A and B are shown apart, each in its own frame.
Chain A
Amino acid sequence: MAPVAASSDLSFYIHIPYCVKRCGYCDFNTYTPAELKVESSLTEISHSYIDLMMREIEMARAFSDAKTVPTIFFGGGTPSLMEPADLGRVIATIADHFELSPDCEITMEANPDTLTLERLKRYREAGINRLSIGMQSAVSHVLQVLDRTHNPANIEKVVGWAREAGFDEISLDLIYGTPGETMDDWRASIEAALSQDISHISAYALIVEDGTKLAAQVRRGEFIIPDDDETADKYLLADQLFHEAGFEWYEISNWSKPGSSCRHNVAYWKGANWWGIGPGAHSHINGRRWWNVKHPTAYRERIEEGHAPMQANEVLTEEEMAREEIMLLLRLPAGLSIDSFNPAQRTALEDFVAQGYFEQDPWEQGLLTLSRSGRLIADRIVRELVL
């Protein structure tokens, strides 16, 4: 059995469903003021929204018998649109009802446009101790396709402020495979990220999701989706350059300096328990998954009526849990041991090893670590193993 966090632990994910503008490729559960048709300022929204979240935290306390909170993650949307004091209130409320672990990791995702030195200091004071900044690319024309508003030069400034404000753990998010991005553009973005004083990088292949502005543009022929093989090459380049710069991969799309992996995300992959607060947030506790209603207004109504904001749930069968385990742990180096597999699966594994999709050394020690080429076809491998 893969290691699972002690069940007296409960992580929290807090979803902030607001953005000033929707990026062309985004299909997250987020809303702009125009979409919400609200007159209130973001400050007012921030305030009233936080009040609702308190109530959900209370529900979590009532439902769960967990003791310790090892990680908290503010995601979105744009969490950095919320007032630092408001996010501070959330952290304080969680701390009140549960016990924050001494080294509790508290992450906030941020859009560089929303940050100033002053604001960063206040977030730090409120309790945030890890920052994840959406950089995406260092190249203007790529940012344009992605419909991002920030100036690439801001990244350096913002990272500098974050350090000054007292953040030791800073992560940058990158996207590759954007229409029009050359290999050189990508290399430039990687190098720009690596030249910052950061401890963690995430890099994702762009997926054109249905219903997004980008999808419509692709459909109209304004943009052409790049060739899969080229996108594969970009992953390989990133992995190589990250490795050379001292960032090791600890998940297919995540690299960090030693000791700086994002423990909150690792909790997802290791099947730990967490509670998702906010509209559309997902949760998992002991084999039960559920998710909240998506729209902020619906969320508000539920909470105000004193009801749980749950939309639907699923109780996982043994089989489903086993599938998830393979699916998730394969994404981590040495995430799975050969012992967990039956003879038929082991034959498939041997085949993959022979083709170079797993690292030889871990294999000899009975552990599965995907090689660079193996990571690229991880889903295929999972499909074979699970069948």
Chain B
Amino acid sequence: MPAIPLAKAPQPSQTNPAQIRNFCIIAHIDHGKSTLADRMLGITEVVEQRNMRAQYLDRMDIERERGITIKSQAVRLPWRSGIDGQEYILNMIDTPGHVDFTYEVSRSLAACEGAVLLVDCAQGIEAQTLANLYLAMENNLTIIPVLNKIDLPAAQPEKFAQELAKLIGCEPEDCLRVSGKTGAGVEELLDQIVKQIPAPVGDPEAPARALIFDSVYDSYRGVVTYVRVVDGHLSTRDQIQMFSTGVRHEMLEVGVISPEPVPSKGLGVGEVGYLITGVKDVRQSRVGDTVTNYQRPTDKALAGYKDPRPMVFSGLFPLDGAEYPMLREALDKLQLNDAALVFEPENSAALGFGFRCGFLGLLHMEIVRERLEREAGLALISTAPNVVYTVTDDGGNELIVTNPSEFPDGKIMKVEEPIVRATVLAPSEFIGAIMELCQQRRGTLLGMDYLSEDRVEIRYTLPLAEIVFDFFDQLKSRTRGYASLDYEPIGEAEGDLVKVDILLQGEKVDAFSAIVHREKAYTYGVMMTTKLRELIPRQQFEIPIQAAIGSRIIARESIRAIRKDVLAKCYGGDISRKRKLLEKQKEGKKRMKMVGRVEVPQEAFIAALTTDDEKSKEAKK
């Protein structure tokens, strides 16, 4: 039997690096990574059949529901190779699949020597597959191409083996064929992992260096830090130090995940496991940082550490103003486990007190929002997502603008916005539609390649602002769902951007301001003024609604004064009902916001500002 009972397998801190193989699985969403991981857990008998549950490693409810992996895990799998009969330790590091979490993905990759590139051979290669593949190649990983879901009737292994081979530069017959569902080919895959992926290399005598590739807050145990030991050794009684902060910590516990945490004496070169240091804040245990020994510290950190920067911002306001403290508490709690989430208090004349939050991307934003609504039971208004601009005014001063209302009023020298490199994979029949969409969104074509006769990869640079709202939806609907999208930030570019304000009876309403490209300003102005004309009830005077850039009006609507506001019939049977309606309206008035003399119901703000979440959530899957 290839499986080795855990107790008999090579033990942590006593394992010969030559017996270790560190690998991850790279795959597009839904291509079966988690199922394959399940299968591996089962075959190595790390999880007994009766304890197995689908997608075992996906811990968060949301992940399981949406079938996606957000947090990384690292599982130690003992395996006896079918090729040479020797015992090995395979460390499977499960990576988040989505582009929002690219930083985490690349850290996980740095913990591995090899990657299993998994492609659903009924779907084919998707944009994310590629994106992660390039990342893996940049990290010099050995790639093992694997075609999954061969059990499906729609599977086309030959076709995709060709594509895959061309992509990686190997032969089609080198592509393994497996089914995560049935288990076919999985044993062979494990053997190939042993055979093809190099063993980790490091100096056991050198000062300890371990890379943090994940950091998770657990309410019982505090922060659990996942590490890959590169040099030296980490033992239970050590005092360790974080390279970036220099802070010393006690090592309370060290061990491996198999697949539940198993404490050990320590971790040696090439091993992957976890540390518990007693810290309560993930920001003290940062992904990408180097852990070293306090008494004998290293002077050279492992590959550069960088704070993940938020790309997308959105205002979050509680629907009921009284729940503001609850929202703050919930955000604090989320941040314990999500070092990338940033937020600060914001006050809107229209929506009251809330927070301006920064996210790594749209998926990150949706997940945070969903967690706030579900776990904290909060009803939220979120304003349309916006990006961060760098505005240079006439005096040469640079201002970072995360909120349209921070946009300076005076003369501007230039405005810079974040841009991304986007990769779209789609059937070639949609080339025209895709190019038209990207052109509309101020994109610049970088290039186009045919992956096969009927599939094409198109690359564009696009302003991030053009992607954050409904680009993905549009892409999907213009390609009948076939296109896939991946993007990465590539810095900032100057843009002809202006701030559009919305005024009611001459008063600016801060919540409705937006920073848009000059060419889109008119459209935005018309859209908002039209929307507001429908949402704001008629009042005793005419209400002009204007969109303006600075002092220049670019769009105008008007709400006529109301002339008829009376119930014709009021007889015996109507009185009670009419009085109750009056009382209800009295309550409703309390929820009115006054903008000058104009009464604007709360609902109008919500409708005008809330992003169309349902559609984009559906499309994301």
A binding-site residues for B, Cβ under 8 Å? 13, 204-205, 207, 228-229, 231-232, 235, 252-253, 265, 268-269, 274, 276, 280-284, 289, 291, 314, 320, 323-324, 327-328, 331, 355, 373, 375-380, 382-383, 386-387
Contacts of A253 in B (CB 8 A): 568-569
- B565 and A380 form a contact (CB under 8 A): yes
Q: In the complex, A13→B574 CA distance in Å?
A: 14
State the CA gap A377–B576 with chains docked (Å): 20
B586 interface hit (Cβ, 8 Å): yes
| Shortest distance from the beta carbon of B564 to any chain A beta carbon, whole Å | 4
B612 interfacial by beta-carbon distance below 8 Å = no
Q: Are the CB atoms of B563 and A377 closer together than 8 Å? A: yes
For the A-B complex with A13-B572, A235-B564, A323-B579 known, give 19 more contacts whose Cβ atoms are closer than 8 Å: A205-B564, A229-B563, A231-B564, A253-B568, A269-B570, A276-B573, A282-B573, A283-B572, A284-B572, A320-B579, A323-B583, A324-B579, A328-B575, A376-B566, A377-B565, A378-B566, A380-B566, A383-B586, A387-B589
Give the nearest-CB partner of A206 in chain B.
B568
| A252 and chain B: residue at smallest CB distance | B566
CB distance from A107 to the nearest CB of B (A): 12
- Docked complex Cα distance between A274 and B573 (Å): 11
For chain B, the count of residues having a C-beta within 8 Å of the partner chain is 23
Are A376 and B575 neighbours in the complex by a CB distance under 8 Å?
no
Complex CA distance for A320 and B565, rounded to whole angstroms: 22
Q: Is B531's CB within 8 Å of the partner chain A?
A: no
With a CB–CB cut-off of 8 A, which chain A residues contact B572? 13, 268, 274, 276, 282-284
Answer yes or no: B585 CB below 8 A from chain A CBs.
yes
Q: Is the CB of B569 within 8 A of A282?
A: no
Tell me if A380 and B579 are in contact (CB < 8 A).
no
B578 at the interface (CB under 8 A from A): yes
- With a cutoff of 8 Å between Cβ atoms, the chain B residues found around residue A314 in the complex are 576
- Does the CB pair A252–B568 fall under 8 Å? yes
Compute how far the CA of A204 lies from the CA of B571 in the bound complex, rounded to whole angstroms: 12
What mask results when residues 552 to 572 of chain B are scored 1 for a CB within 8 Å of chain A, else 0? 000000001011111111111
Complex-state Cα separation, A386 to B583, whole angstroms: 9
B414 CB to nearest A CB, Å:
49
CB<8 Å pairs between A and B, sample of 10: A228-B564, A231-B564, A232-B564, A280-B573, A282-B576, A327-B570, A377-B565, A380-B566, A386-B586, A387-B589
Closest to A281 in B: B573
Bound together, the chains give a CA A281 to CA B575 distance in angstroms of: 12
**Known contacts A13-B572, A276-B572, A386-B586: A327-B563 contact under CB 8 Å:** no
Q: Is B540 an interface residue (CB 8 A)?
A: yes
**Which residues 566-620 in B have Cβ within 8 Å of A in the complex?**
566-573, 575-576, 578-579, 582-583, 585-586, 589
A231 CB contacts on chain B under 8 angstroms: 564
Are B575's CB and A377's CB within 8 A?
A: no
Please state if A376 and B564 are interface contacts (CB–CB under 8 Å): yes
Residues on B with beta carbons closer than 8 Å to the beta carbon of A280: 573
A90 to B: closest C-beta gap in Å = 17
B563 and A232 contact, CB distance less than 8 A: yes
- Kindly name the residue among B570, B578, B583, B585 whose own CB sees the greatest number of chain A CB atoms within 10 A: B570
B134 to chain A minimum Cβ distance, whole angstroms, is 53
A265 adjacent to B571 (CB under 8 Å)? yes
Question: B565: which of A265, A282, A376 is its contact (CB, 8 Å)?
Answer: A376
The answer to whether A380 touches B573, judged by C-beta atoms less than 8 angstroms apart, is no
The 4 nearest A-B residue pairs measured at CB: A232-B564, A204-B568, A282-B573, A380-B565
Nearest-Cβ distance from residue B579 to partner chain A, whole angstroms: 5
Residues of the A chain whose Cβ atoms lie less than 8 Å from the Cβ of B569: 204, 253
Q: B560, B563, B582: which contacts A383 (Cβ < 8 A)?
A: B582
- Name the B residues within 8 Å of A376 (CB-CB): 563-566
Which residues of B lie under 8 Å from residue A265 when comparing CB positions?
A: 571
A382 contact set on B, CB distance < 8 A: 582
Chain B residues with CB under 8 Å of chain A are 540, 560, 562-573, 575-576, 578-579, 582-583, 585-586, 589
Partner of B576, one of A232, A274, A289, A379: A289
B contact residues around A269 at 8 Å (CB): 570
Taking the closest CB of chain B, its distance from the CB of A131, in whole angstroms, is 17
* Given A231-B564, A380-B565; A327-B578 close (CB under 8 Å): yes
Bound Cα distance A323, B579 (Å): 7
B573 touches A379 (CB 8 A): no
Q: Would B582 and A229 count as touching, CB distance under 8 A?
A: no
Q: Which residues of chain A are near B567, meaning CB under 8 Å?
A: 207, 379
CB-CB under 8 A for A324 and B575, given A386-B582, A387-B586? yes
- Min Cβ gap A172→B in Å is 15
Inside 8 A of A355's CB, which chain B residues have their CB?
A: 540
Q: Is the CB of A289 within 8 A of B582?
A: no
Is there contact, CB below 8 Å, between B563 and A228?
A: yes
The docked-state distance in angstroms from the alpha carbon of A378 to that of B589 is: 17
Q: Are A205 and B568 in touch, CB under 8 angstroms?
A: yes
| Chain A residues within 8 Å of B568, by CB | 204-205, 207, 252-253
- State which of B563, B575, B582 has its C-beta within 8 Å of the C-beta of A282: B575
Using Cβ atoms and an 8 Å threshold, which residues of chain A touch B570?
252, 268-269, 327-328, 331
B576 cross-chain contacts in A, Cβ below 8 A: 282, 289, 291, 314
Q: Cβ of A379: which chain B residues have Cβ within 8 Å of it?
A: 565-567
**Given known A-B contacts A314-B576, A323-B579, A386-B582, A377 and B571 have beta carbons under 8 A apart:** no
Say whether, besides A324-B579, A377-B564, A380-B540, A291 and B586 are in contact (CB < 8 Å): no
A132 to chain B, nearest CB (A): 12
CB contacts (< 8 Å) of B589 on chain A: these are: 383, 387
A327, B582: Cβ atoms under 8 Å? yes
Given contacts A281-B573, A282-B575, A324-B575, contact A377 B582 (CB under 8 A): no
Contact between A375 and B579 (Cβ–Cβ < 8 Å)? no
Cβ A229 vs Cβ B565 within 8 A: no
Measured between C-beta atoms, what is the minimum distance from B571 to chain A in Å? 6
The contact of A291 among B563, B573, B579, B585, by CB within 8 Å, is B573
Determine the distance from Cα of A320 to Cα of B583 in the docked complex, in whole angstroms.
Answer: 9
Q: How far is the CB of B33 from chain A (nearest CB, A)?
A: 48
Residue of B nearest to A320 (CB): B579
Min distance, Cβ B75 to any Cβ of chain A, angstroms:
57
Closest to A283 in B: B572
A176 to B565, CA, bound (A): 15
In the complex, are the beta carbons of B573 and A229 less than 8 A apart? no
Please indicate the chain B residues that have their CB under 8 angstroms from the CB of A268 in the complex.
Answer: 570-572, 575
- Identify the closest chain A residue to B538 (Cβ): A228
Q: In the complex, what's the smallest C-beta–C-beta distance from A356 to chain B, in angstroms?
A: 12
What are the residues of chain A within 8 A of B578 when measuring CB–CB? 327
Q: B239 to chain A: closest CB distance in Å?
A: 68
User: Do B564 and A229 touch (CB < 8 A)?
Assistant: yes
Q: Is the CB of A327 within 8 A of B579?
A: yes
Q: How far is it, in angstroms, between the C-alpha of A281 and the C-alpha of B540 when the chains are bound?
A: 36
Complex Cα spacing A330 to B569, Å: 14
**Chain A min CB distance to B381 (Å):** 26
When chains A and B are docked, how far (Å) is the Cα of A378 from the Cα of B560? 18
Q: Which of chain B's residues has its CB closest to A235's CB?
A: B564
Kindly list chain A residues whose C-beta atoms are within 8 Å of the C-beta of B566. 252, 375-380
A323–B570 Cα gap in the complex (Å)? 14
* A residues in contact with B585, CB < 8 Å: 383
Q: Shortest distance in angstroms between B590's beta carbon and chain A's nearest beta carbon?
A: 9
CB distance from A245 to the nearest CB of B (A): 20
Provide the residues of chain B in CB contact with A252, threshold 8 Å: 566, 568, 570
Residues of A within 8 A of B565 (CB): 376-380
Contacts of B560 in A (CB 8 A): 229
> A379 CA to B579 CA in the complex, in Å?
11
Contacts of B579 in A (CB 8 A): 320, 323-324, 327
> With the chains together, A269 CA to B221 CA distance in Å?
71
Instruction: Give Cα distance in the complex from A62 to B582, angstroms.
Output: 34
B86 CB to nearest A CB, Å? 75
- A278 to B: closest C-beta gap in Å: 11
